[in-house]
Amino acid sequence: MVLYTTPFPNSCLSALHAVSWALIFPCYWLIDRLVASFKPTTYEKRQRADDPCCLQLLCTALFTPIYLALLVAALPFAFLGFLFWSPLQSARRPYTYSRLEDKGPAGGAALLNEWKGTGTGKSFCFATANLCLLPDSLARLNNLFNTQARAKEIGQRIRNGAARPQIKIYIDSPTNTSISAASFSSLVSPQGSDGGTRAVPGNIKRTASVEYKGDGGRHPSDEAANGPASGDTADGGSLEDACIVRIGGEEGGRPPEMDDSATGSQVRNGASGGPKGQTPNHNQRDGDSGSLGSPSASRESLVKARAGPDGSGGGEPGVNSKLLYKASVVKKAAARRRRHPDEAFDHEVSAFFPANLDFLCLQEVFDKRAAAKLKDQLHGYFEYILYDVGVYGCRGCCNFKCLNSGLFFASRYPVMDVAYHCYPNGCSFDALASKGALFLKVQVGSTPQDQRIVGYIACTHLHAPPEDSAIRCEQLDLLQDWLADFRKSTSSSSAANPEELVAFDVICGDLNFDNCSSDDKLEQQHSLFTRYKDPCRLGPGEEKPWAIGTLLDTNGLYDEDVCTPDNLQKVLESEEGRREYLAFPTSKSPGAGQKGRKDLLKGNGRRIDYMLHAEEGLCPDWKAEVEEFSFITQLSGLTDHLPVAMRLMVSSGEEEA
């Protein structure tokens, strides 16, 4: 299949579209700014309260007549541009594919040689997030603003989290029972000048946001913004190659079944200043671990250690700034029994996106300028990106579409096939966007017999109004049918092209219903959940105890308790914090407000962002099992949703035997 790298089939149409949009854009921008000036966020209201001169109100009163005059002048040009723009949409392609040409040893092509389908299993990490990158006036309905700056900051944070060295910190404490706490202990061994190993000194602290150097000694700032490109981490995507740090355990203790033969990673002691591109609605504070350069701490982040030549913790800062840690490969089964005896996989609230993230599915990236900024930032880590997904105008849909689908996909592995479908049954304000489903086929390896190992990923965003359950169920039906057609049309089996081996089948996205609300029973019982497994769900209307909501209460986005990743992580680890800052299901009964009903609600908030995986339809001898599941706070203050991540381990029955 040919992947579309430009939105139009020829340069003439592209130039005509650019001219038409140039005529429309001034009117579009003026309307957006004019409406935004009358819809302040809670952050802006607090700033105005601290401003005795009310300068912002004065500026609004001064510039409003100017905006109106310019808007009237721009309307004729916008109308002329619209006459050209609208018919051009019939020739527009449904997405734009961008590939950053691989120049390094660990790009997408090199990743295909890491797994041959034999030997040990292979883990793949997926993440999904709703970013609310709407035009600024519309984003303010969700108490968010400054869409362009948010897009740049979001891209930097995702890349920083995914590109960081994978260092696991497990805290030995019989009193620590929080969701993200771990009781499994292990050791890290700094390597001295003599090549021997030493015990970790007792002054290693739970500190996270340090600068680091990966392979080749490259600093994060050497790449496009402040994170290394794909492949800079030592393990190249393997979960097992993780640096394990033990805090507060028995002195001299050693975990069972530990293998000392592993790769290493370098950690530099120190922290840089605030991250570049910081958005106005997210002030840098102590404890903010949104970027690896911030002077803060996080439970699952990097380690700041000071060890002298004798291992005592003294020594000069110049000598202590770089420590080589040997990674400890710990068998996952033993670790899980220690950490989560009631669950087959790890689960936590994390202040960072998972290290070595392979696939990223995003929703509500509606603004095209914001999508371009996000793409530029993420290309420092992801080689393959699809953005500006959807249709405009009346093409293939019953309603006129002003916005695209908002779907955005990034991958470290090569994309083989792509398909997009627009849901035809949207109504109300949701019908203005071409919400739909994006289907992708990626290659993740090849066998010694040159059979391709592939995976299928679907990214979607369903209808939003809570009262329209029937519409969402129809869309779930279409999603299943489209996915089956996509797999059938893209599968290949012939003598010249051997049958492909399917490693995973994953569905990600914002489904706009939760599994606990009594108003969403229709969606909870949909047949999709019989074919795909939800790691957080026990059954219709019943969640696993550790699952939490992914929709934040927009009124509290800028509260000091939750405005940084670390603070939000700590708040969500407590039941009281979840009830205060997560959105809960609303009731159709009159007089039922969220604040007064929280004590009566069951569950831990509205979980509307899902990651589902299939256990059937894969290679007959393989199976995919969840290895980790995370609720991520790294985008605190930048969106009203919690990103979620899932790591799948693909292995064969022969390997387990």
Residue 422 is given by DSSP the state: E
- Rounded to whole angstroms, how far apart are CA atoms 151 and 374? 5
Q: Find out whether 389 and 408 touch, Cβ atoms under 8 Å.
A: yes
- Rounded to whole angstroms, how far apart are CA atoms 576 and 114? 45
Residue 49 burial (CB count, 10 A): 9
Strands 243-247 and 167-171: parallel
Residues in CB range of 368: below 8 A, 6 or more apart: 388, 404
Nearest to 438 by CA among 359, 337, 372, 501: 359
Of the residues 347, 421, 461, 641, only one is catalytic, namely 641
Q: Find out whether 300 and 350 touch, Cβ atoms under 8 Å.
A: yes
Strands 122-133 and 359-365: parallel
Nearest to 187 by CA among 276, 253, 116: 253
Residue 442 is given by DSSP the state: E
* β-sheet bridge partners, residue 510: 461, 609
Note the maximum CA span of the chain: 78
> 379 an active-site residue?
no
Strands 264-268 and 212-213: antiparallel
Q: Find out whether 439 and 416 touch, Cβ atoms under 8 Å.
A: no
- Rounded to whole angstroms, how far apart are CA atoms 140 and 576? 27
* β-sheet bridge partners, residue 437: 421, 460
Q: Find out whether 358 and 237 touch, Cβ atoms under 8 Å.
A: yes
**Active site residue ranges:** 641
